């Protein structure tokens, strides 16, 4: 880690001690803002010369003496005659290979580790003794103690000396933060003095996470869109969805044709996903399913909490970050008393020939329901009805215990060919005198032969 310049603080001239704070963070790459350098060949001859291969081959020999003279300029020569010459192609990038240590706290983001080097200096001409040092982070919600030497005070700091220490804090809250450094000490005259200094900074959100939930039959799809709000590229080490109880999650990826499939260590050494600085985005898609989809009790007792995302990343120079989202909610769960599903339907149904539909009636309550009557409602016009009941128009069923199900068959006949729908099934509770209409709808294919 590299040290960065510390922020200012509040101090009084009468104090012998003073705090100096430097944030420890990775440096940035220095970019040379001087004018662009050029190659003398481009200036003297232009690009047309290279159209003639014979002339181009003689050019290095003709200019070698002049270029060597420019490169060997005496350092005491203040004219800097060769300062605009491009001596190496890499110089055109404007990156001299230097690293710059930030001179302030800089941008601090949620999920990072705030680490700083604190030095308390004795600028007086006498020794100070029994120094109790405290360092803490104050936010709008809480105060976090980072260092406290009350039980073992620093014995003394000589004149012109200092005492150094390092503190760390995992940033878990947005908004204004204040680093409070304080010292209680005895000066040269034996008087106890108290020195507080304050360093304020703002914690911003590095990522925004937008989610969408879609339900297709018994499968729930969760789309998570991550947007980078920092000024640095973020390399995502892990974006993992932790499903809630009774849910399972699978990350859906596009097929990759890279060579990593043939490399045994491809999964271990896989390239991290890059989300570019200043608004870059990346989308993740998860497929969610109930661990026990046939359990009626889960649907009654469960909630619409799907889970949460665990996100870890690194910046350009490897500084880590970690975030955990709040619980992601799915669509509100509709509480049902009963549920009717078709468990088996013939793949091809012949026109005007009877066929059986296997059904399952589930009780989703904590009490016994039934007995039931089942029938298929008739439409006003016979021409509009494609599937009709074959035989008894009403089917009588027994009781269904709490959180249990009852299987039965319905004998139907199709009077229209093509793709049709079985709908309009009605279930009637003969005890509670309650009717459940159109509990399910399913498509069938009706053939002529």
The verdict on residue 362 lying in a domain is yes
| pLDDT tens sequence for the chain (449 residues) | 444 444 454 444 588 899 999 888 777 776 666 666 666 666 555 556 556 667 666 666 656 555 554 444 455 655 555 666 666 666 666 666 677 776 777 788 999 999 999 999 998 889 999 999 999 999 999 999 999 999 999 999 999 899 999 999 999 999 999 999 999 999 877 789 999 999 999 999 999 999 999 988 778 899 999 999 998 899 998 899 999 888 889 998 876 555 445 555 555 567 789 999 889 999 999 999 887 644 444 444 446 789 999 999 998 878 899 999 999 988 776 667 888 888 899 888 888 889 999 999 998 888 899 899 888 877 655 556 788 888 778 888 889 998 889 999 888 888 888 888 888 888 898 888 888 877 778 888 888 87
Look up the domain containing 362 and give its range. 338-447
Q: Provide the CB-side half-sphere exposure for 169 (13 A, CA).
A: 26
Do 110 and 80 lie in a common domain?
A: no
Do 17 and 57 lie in a common domain?
A: no
Which among 188, 204, 220 is the end of a domain?
204
Q: According to the model, what pLDDT value does residue 292 have?
A: 62
Do 152 and 267 lie in a common domain?
A: no
78 near 15, Cβ under 8 Å?
no
CATH number of residue 215's parent domain: 2.60.40.1230
Do 196 and 293 lie in a common domain?
A: no
CATH number of residue 363's parent domain: 2.60.40.10
Ranges of H-type helices in 302-433: none
pTM of the model: 0.61
Q: According to the model, what pLDDT value does residue 222 have?
A: 92
The verdict on residue 305 lying in a domain is yes
The verdict on residue 118 lying in a domain is yes
The verdict on residue 284 lying in a domain is yes
Q: According to the model, what pLDDT value does residue 242 have?
A: 92
Q: Tell me the C-alpha distance between 257 and 332, whole Å.
A: 39
Which among 140, 172, 204 is the end of a domain?
204
Do 185 and 290 lie in a common domain?
A: no
Which of these, 322, 324, 326, 325, lies nearest to 111 by C-alpha position? 322
Do 243 and 152 lie in a common domain?
A: no
Provide the b/e sequence for 272-311 (b: ≥16 CB within 10 Å): eeebeeeeeebebebebebeeeeebebbbebeeebbbbeb
Cα 98 to Cα 27, 28, 107, 203, 396: the distances in Å are 10, 9, 21, 28, 86
Do 112 and 19 lie in a common domain?
A: yes
Do 73 and 222 lie in a common domain?
A: no
Do 105 and 81 lie in a common domain?
A: no
Using DSSP's 3-state secondary structure scheme, residue 230 falls into: coil
Q: Tell me the C-alpha distance between 23 and 171, whole Å.
A: 14
The verdict on residue 227 lying in a domain is yes
Do 161 and 23 lie in a common domain?
A: yes
Residue 36 CA to chain centroid, in angstroms? 40
Give me the number of domains the chain comprises.
4
Cα 430 to Cα 372, 395, 436: the distances in Å are 6, 12, 11
The verdict on residue 186 lying in a domain is yes
- Token pair, residue 10, equals 């509040």
Which of these, 332, 339, 428, lies nearest to 375 by C-alpha position? 428
179 Cβ partners below 8 Å, 6+ apart?
21, 116, 135, 136, 137, 198, 199, 200, 201
Which among 204, 239, 259 is the end of a domain?
204
Do 214 and 279 lie in a common domain?
A: yes
The verdict on residue 239 lying in a domain is yes
Do 259 and 248 lie in a common domain?
A: yes
The verdict on residue 35 lying in a domain is no
């Amino acid at each position: 880690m590299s040290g960065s310049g510390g922020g200012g603080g509040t101090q009084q001239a009468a104090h012998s001690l003073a705090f100096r704070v430097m944030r420890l963070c990775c440096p940035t790459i220095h970019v040379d803002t001087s004018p662009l350098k050029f190659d003398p060949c481009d200036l003297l001859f232009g690009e047309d010369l290279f159209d003639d291969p014979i002339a181009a081959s003689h050019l290095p020999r003709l200019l070698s003496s002049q270029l060597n003279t420019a490169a060997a300029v005496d350092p005491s020569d203040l004219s800097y005659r060769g300062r605009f010459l491009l001596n190496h192609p890499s110089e055109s990038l404007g990156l001299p290979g230097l690293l710059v240590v930030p001179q302030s706290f800089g941008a601090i983001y949620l999920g990072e580790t705030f680490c700083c080097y604190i030095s308390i200096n004795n600028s007086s001409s006498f020794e100070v003794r029994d120094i109790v040092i405290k360092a803490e982070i104050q936010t709008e919600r809480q105060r976090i103690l980072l260092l406290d030497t009350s039980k073992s005070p620093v014995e003394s700091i000589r004149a012109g000396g200092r005492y150094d220490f390092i503190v760390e804090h995992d940033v878990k809250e947005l908004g204004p933060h204040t680093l409070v450094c304080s010292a209680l000490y005895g000066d040269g005259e034996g008087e106890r003095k108290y020195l507080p200094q304050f360093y304020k900074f703002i914690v911003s959100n590095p990522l925004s996470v937008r989610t969408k939930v879609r339900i297709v039959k018994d499968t729930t799809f969760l789309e998570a869109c991550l947007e980078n709000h920092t000024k640095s590229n973020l390399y995502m080490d892990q974006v993992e969805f932790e499903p809630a109880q009774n849910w399972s999650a699978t990350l859906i990826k596009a097929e990759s044709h890279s060579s990593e499939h043939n490399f045994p260590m491809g999964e271990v050494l896989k390239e991290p996903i890059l989300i570019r600085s200043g608004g870059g985005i990346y989308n993740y898609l998860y497929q969610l399913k109930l661990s026990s989809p046939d359990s009626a009790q889960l649907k009654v007792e469960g909630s619409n909490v799907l889970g949460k995302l665990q996100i870890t990343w690194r910046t350009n120079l490897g500084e880590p970050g970690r975030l955990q989202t709040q619980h992601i909610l799915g669509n509100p769960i509709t509480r049902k008393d009963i549920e009717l599903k078709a468990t088996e339907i013939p793949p091809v149904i012949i026109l005007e020939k009877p066929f059986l539909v296997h059904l399952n009636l589930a009780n989703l309550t904590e009490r016994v329901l039934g007995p039931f009557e089942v029938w298929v409602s008739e439409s006003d016009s016979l021409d509009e009805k494609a599937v009709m009941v074959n035989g008894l128009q009403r089917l009588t069923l027994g009781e269904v215990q709490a959180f249990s199900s009852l299987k039965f068959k319905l004998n139907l006949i199709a009077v229209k060919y093509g793709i049709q729908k079985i709908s309009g099934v009605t279930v009637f509770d003969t005890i509670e005198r309650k009717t459940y209409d159109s509990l399910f709808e399913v498509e069938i294919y009706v053939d002529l032969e």
